[in-house]
Structure 1
Amino acid sequence: MKQTVRLASAGLIVALAVVALALVIPGNAPEPAPPGIPDPGQLVGWGLPVARLVADLGSLATIGFLLAAVVLLPSGPRLEGLAVQAVRIASWFAIAWGMAAAALLVLNVADVFARPLGDLNIDLIASFVLDFGPGRALALQSIGAFIVAVACRWTLGIRPLAVTLGIALAAVVPVALAGHAANAGSHTLAVFSLMLHLLGVMVWVGGLLALGWVALRGSRRLDEAVMRYSTIALWAFVTVGVSGVVNASIRLGSWSEIASDYGALVAVKAVAFAALGVFGWAQRRRIVARGVGFARLAVTEVFIMVATIAVAVVLSRTPTPVGEDVLQTPAERLLGGSMPPAPSVREIFLGFSPNGFGLAFVAFAVSLYAWGLIVLHRRGDRWPIARTASWFTGVVIVAWATFGGIGQYSHVMFSWHMVSHMMLSMIAPIFLVLAAPMTLALRTLPGARRPGEQSPRSLLMAFLHSRVARFFTHPVVSAAIFMGSLYVLYFSNLFGTLMQSHSGHVFMELHFLLAGVLFYYVVIGVDPSPRSVPPLVRFGLLMVSIPFHAFFSVAVMSASYVIAESFYQVLDRPYATDLLHDQYVGGGIAWATGEIPLVLVLIAIFAQWVRSDAREASRHDRQADRDADAELEKYNAYLESLDRE
């Protein structure tokens, strides 16, 4: 334990030194303000990067040790051995993370209002949390960290701790809303790339940190943990690299800006990232093959990673070449970019809008499904071509509806918004559900390495048969979410409110897709389900939902007012200026496109019904062969007894 504390202290000292050098050498160190200008003081100026550094290190250590306990180290339903100690360490780091995030919140209040820490009061802090995005983000992060700390002390069950790990990862997300990405052009792309970058770093660096600790403890389970971490690290490394390139390109604007202070720090970070990738791949492959030296290697890599994170902290406080003035008009600020040209056949089919949610979904959907197919192929197992084609068809539809031509106009015109809505909720989910992604995951996720272990495969199976899954897959619940959300969203102020923010756009797209997947999972799903719904009930559920959808479409077409009128008025688009007519067209599109999935789903239900009858007949035939038609003989005897009476 003493060695662990010494290494943690050494890592923090190295990180602080790198922060100081990265601020002092370019001349960006905090300096007193000129006389007459409000100044929060040197304590705030230096405290901000230090608090940010402590929060980042605390978050990655928390996530890393939880990852080791839940995923990397073999354990049964309840943690045992070293995994228990890892959870306890994670709880202490979570406390440090929460306190650092709270301190960072207070320091930001002093910085924004240009007041020394002694002049702050509760009203200023409350105003910052309620009225400023960074304030809300830091408050949520601090609350999330303390929830994780309490959960780590409350349970040692691997399933609750898996949820706790998810909460810890979710607590990192608000940071993406508080940095430079929040004000950059291509807003959703900038935010999503930063979000994925942070999550990748947390998993990659945090996991290696925890593995280094496992190695220092001399655990015999290190080899098993390293093997599983290697796959996770590869995914995290690729995610960090791709998202980092995307985010840096948005903030730099052009290659010429690489000579700026911000560009120089980006270059240093890129070199360190590339060196870590080469170093980690070559050296770990050699050392792990020999079975020795992992602890030394891991500690060396962690120190380099900590220094890189320190550079990233300074980078987050360095002005970007592409500043807030990139979005000048109210319409550009609402859209996160410039107004697209008038719709045309070419723009609809070949247009592109850098939507972060759509790009992230497509990238992971293609990569994960393809990885599953590769694993099956290496094992010599076969996977139906029809399912593969169905998955990639659904992914293409999601791409078209989010960052393709349809997505380009979905935030500008109500009619095209409705096309995107129908594609995401009623067309794409059919193909995604029929591709059986959960079945593929269950066949390819890592299984138990030793008897009784709770593996990723068993955790997924447990979730699919949990009470939460049973509740949401109830036919009434899934139909209520699928159809009821239409009325709640469009016939209240919610749609107009969500359209005012980029996160609102993302929420709607995610909700449309998930609601559609849930509904069709119940109606035509081929994956394992906690409920067995007979084909006739599925057909009835589909028939009941059709009138609700038709009535919604008619209500939109018949409305005498413009839905989200203030949003579209601020956009002031130069084409399709008749807002009520555009809304009428959108209602008609919703009505017309409701017929397409009806035909597809009816075909799928009929096919599943036929296969179900065939399987049942085959089962009866096998039973008859085993017991010489005992059931039939019993029935015939019953008929004979009736005849004798």
Structure 2
Amino acid sequence: MPRSVRVLGPAVLTLVALVATFAGLAYGGGAAEQLIQDPGPVARYGVPVAKLFVNLGAAGMIGALVLAVWALTPKRREFDLALDVAAASAAVMTVASAASGLFTFLVVTGAPFDIGDTFGQQLGQFVTTIELGQAWLTTTLVAATVTVLCFAVRNHTALVFVTVLAVTSLVPLAQQGHAAGSAGHSEAITALGLHLVFAAAWVGGLVTIVLLRRELGVDRLPVVLARYSTVALVCFIVVALSGYASAALRVGTLDELATPYGVLVLVKLTALVALGLFGAAQRRFLIGRMSRAGASGTGTFWLLVVVELAFMGLASGVAAALARTATPVSEAEAGSLARTPAEILTGEPLPPWPDWTRYFTEWSPDLIWLLACGFGIFFYLAGVRRLRKRGDRWPVYRAVLWVAGLVLLAYVTNGGVNVYEQYLFSAHMLGHMVLTMAVPVLLVPGAPVTLAARSIRPRDDGSRGGREWILLAVHSKFAGVIANPIVAAVLFAGSLWVFYYSPLFRWTMVDHIGHEWMIVHFLITGYLFVQSLIGIDPVPYRLPYPFRLVLLLGTMAFHAFFGLAIMSGTGLLLADWYGAMGWGTDALVDQQLGGGIAWSIGEIPTVALAITVAVQWSRSDEKESKRRDRHADRTGDAELEEYNARLAAIADHDLRAE
């Protein structure tokens, strides 16, 4: 079995996926003949089958790259072979994406396939001017670029950027999913995007390990598997939650689970549960058994792997069929909810009018930040627990501040602020101030880099885990530049003007990706600025305490000037957005209120920062005094005696001169 698993495992995955795709299409009617301009069975079945191979190619590409970056050693041949797997998978994805674009064109237009000039012109217009065609063209070009880079790049650090590029190839696919144009479209795009990326890393990582079985050997295999199992556990949690969110948006009510779409969702859920059980068995029993028993303990493991790949194929095939199956909650029904100008602009049902209690009772979940905050709290507390188990101390206040910061971040990205920031400039500015000032003031004293450096076990085989990647990023030249106090202050204050008085502001309103970028930008610039003032984690350079206070006061004066400029402004920043919501409110007054929030609320963290800098300055002086006292005790005041002797010598010399 172990010798044949390299062929049997991927073959079972592909075969089961194909069977599940055709069965799902037959049951759900996803490839049924169209009543008007039917493109024929080749195109109808070609779309989901090509999409299946797009997903499998993406899985091999992303899974192999993640495994190379996280678990494998560049000095070993396993590293190069994993990149070869990634390149081959990216090539499959490139061809499958091009085929998907062609079949999609045939289905959308109903045009028969031919090799004439007219057909080529129509196809070219589809992929260059129509959003759906542009998405497939983008996916094809990105996958082709990753194919080349996987052959050309062997630098461990550069491969991180190749992996990020590979992940971006799935963004157009997420934007094509069900409900992408209806109410709840932001949640749908987020859930589908997370589902695609983490499912790809999960499936592709296991396939890559199977293909590298001979190269890894008996001794190396348990080590790589243990690292992969950590990634797989995270992927399982994300895939399960994002799958639930996607199903909730598309199914609607529990009664709709009896529809063909609902039944296929239940089949996929069953496969997911089985995969979770397989992963638990691997993590708890088989990896440790292999480490102890060597080659004699691998038979059961490889049998389980083949079965696991079969269930992965089942889930992948059903997912491809679901993409072509009509959902119980159709986009037409969801779109019919839009009756106000606000709903037409945002695509979301208009929320209730916001009195102050609504900011605590209304919710608009953003799964990305819920997961990020949840994992951030879990891994931080796990690090603290590991330190204490080995007898090391970690201040309680740091953990409390870190958890409080992430809870606040989760609220501002999922609670009432996130609900109303699309409709009211004041709500948007409130979220901005919390993200860029309040959250970093809580997170920075948590010292996450210091905790990671102390709690994560270092690796000695040349691979890079969490500790190695974090320290590499912190000590990189780029980090040295942006962490410089002056640069951090310029980014913090200057980006206010650039953001609000440039097309970036509009992009963050109309595009969900822009909205996510905005959150990341505000959070990072605020974190860098606060880190330069009161940070505990290591940075290349810190200003003396007096200059820190000067920098803080100067930056916040610039920040206050921005708030006053908004308060006194007489023109709307986004007149065709905030001025067209149709709520019957004065958008200019609300914008001026937002300026007041920027000016006033920003002062509260400023006072906290100033007090913290002053306290740290005082403690630094006390530590320096104690250090000098200890030095004097050890040397018997040698420095003072030497200084007095020097003064006496000078006085004696003066007496002689007289």
Is this a same-fold pair by TM over 0.5?
Answer: yes
Does 1:460 pair with 2:462?
no
Could you tell me which of 100, 117, 140 is aligned with 1:142? Answer: 140
Shift of 1:452: 4.7
Sort the Cα spacing of 1:557 and 1:624 in 2 relative to 1 into closer, same or farther, 3 A. same
Q: What is the aligned partner in structure 2 of residue 587 from structure 1?
A: 595
Pairing partner for 1:105 from 94, 101, 104: 101
Does residue 322 (structure 1) correspond to residue 329 (structure 2)? The answer is yes
CA distance in 2, matches of 1:640, 1:452: 61
The secondary structure found in structure 1 opposite 2:170 is helix
C-alpha distance after superposition, 1:511-565 (max 9, x if no partner): 2222211221222221122333332332222122122212211211121112211
Structure 2 residue corresponding to 1:415, chosen from 408, 422, 426 = 426
- Any unmatched runs of 5+ in structure 2? 291-296
Give the AA of the match of 2:104. Answer: N
Q: TM-score, normalised by structure 1?
A: 0.91
In structure 2, the CA distance between the partners of 1:628 and 1:215, relative to structure 1 (3 Å rule), is farther
C-alpha spacing 1:21/1:463, structure 2 compared with 1 (3 Å): same
Query: Is this contact kept in 2: 1:334–1:501, CA < 8 A?
Result: no
CA contact (8 A) 2:127 2:137 kept: no
1:375 CA drift (Å): 3.2
Structure 1 residues 3-82: aligned runs within 5 Å = 4=6, 7-31=9-33, 33-34=34-35, 37-73=36-72, 75=73, 78-82=74-78
Q: How does 1:94-173 map to 2 (within 5 A)?
A: 94-118=90-114, 120-121=119-120, 124-125=123-124, 127-132=126-131, 134-173=132-171
Cα 1:259–1:472, aligned 2, differ >3 Å: closer, same or farther? same
> What letter is aligned with 2:485?
P
Cα offset, 1:488, TM superposition:
1.8
1:583-602, Cα deviation, whole Å (9 max, x unpaired): 11111111111211110111
Q: Deviation per CA, 1:180-199, whole angstroms, max 9, x where unpaired?
A: 14234333322222222222
* Aligned counterpart in structure 2 of residue 508 of structure 1, from 518, 521, 524: 518
Kept in 1: contact 2:30–2:326 (CA 8 A): no
Q: Does 1:180 align with 2:191?
A: no
Q: 1:467 to 1:6 in 2, by over 3 A?
A: same
* Cα pair 2:71 2:227 within 8 Å, conserved: yes
Paired residue for 2:441? Answer: 430
1:332 aligned onto 2:350: no
2:493 to 460, 483, 489: 483
Letter in 2 for 1:12: T
Alignment counterpart, residue 86 of structure 2, candidates 82, 86, 90? 90
Are residue 305 (structure 1) and residue 312 (structure 2) matched?
Answer: yes
The 2-side partners of 1:347 and 1:489 are apart by 28
2:195 to 176, 197, 215: 197
Matched position secondary structure for 1:318: coil
Deviation (angstroms), 1:6:
6.0
8 Å CA contact retained: 1:426, 1:516:
yes
Contact 1:39 1:116 in 2 (8 A): no
Q: Deviations over 1:129-178 (max 9, x none)?
A: 4541x444434433333333233222333222233233323333332222
**Equivalent pair of 1:102/1:138 in contact (CA under 8 Å):** yes
The 8 Å contact of residues 30 and 324 in structure 2, kept in 1 or not, is answered as no
1:629 shift after superposition: 5.4
Task: Report which stretch shifted further, 419-428 or 319-328.
Answer: 319-328
Using the alignment, how far apart are the partners of 1:148 and 1:445 within structure 2? 31
* Per-residue deviation, residues 241-292 of structure 1 (Å, max 9, x unmatched): 1221122111111001101111111000001111122233236644334321
Q: Would you say the 8 A contact 1:372–1:444 is kept in 2?
A: yes
Shift of 1:626: 5.9
Instruction: Indicate yes or no: 2:375 matched with 1:364.
Output: yes
Given the alignment, which residue of 565, 570, 587 partners 1:560?
570
Give the Cα separation in 2 of the matches to 1:370 and 1:419.
29
Deviation at 1:127, TM superposition (A): 5.0
Partners of 1:91 and 1:148 within 8 A in 2: yes
Matching residue of 1:229: 228
* Mapping for residues 374-453 of structure 1, pairs under 5 Å: 374-448=385-459, 450=460, 452-453=462-463
Does the Cα contact within 8 Å between 2:485 and 2:542 map onto a contact in 1? Answer: no
Partner in structure 2 of residue 246 of structure 1:
245
Identity %: 38
Give how far 1:218 is off: 5.6
Could you say if the C-alpha distance between residues 274 and 8 of structure 1 is closer, same or farther in structure 2, counting changes exceeding 3 Å?
closer
Residue of structure 2 equivalent to 1:607:
615
TM-score by length of 2: 0.89
1:212 aligns with 210
Tell me which moved more, 346-355 or 540-549: 346-355
Structure 1 match to 2:294: none
Partners in 1 of 2:138 and 2:540 — Cα distance? 33
- Per the alignment, do residues 83 and 521 of structure 1 end up closer, same or farther by CA in structure 2, a change over 3 Å counting? same
Q: Deviations over 1:31-65 (max 9, x none)?
A: 3x45xx43444332222112211111111112222
CA distances 1:57-86 after superposition (whole Å, capped 9, x unpaired): 11111222223322223x2xx432222212
Task: Verify: 1:546 aligned to 2:553, yes or no.
Answer: no
- Measured after TM superposition, the shift of residue 503 of structure 1 is 3.2
Q: For the residues of structure 2 that align with 1:164 and 1:629, how far apart are their CA atoms?
A: 60
Q: Comparing both chains, which one has the higher relative contact order based on Cα–Cα distances under 8 Å and sequence gaps of 6 or more?
A: 2
Quote the offset at 1:622 in angstroms. Answer: 5.3
Could you tell me which runs of 5 or more consecutive residues in structure 1 were left unpaired when the two chains were aligned.
none
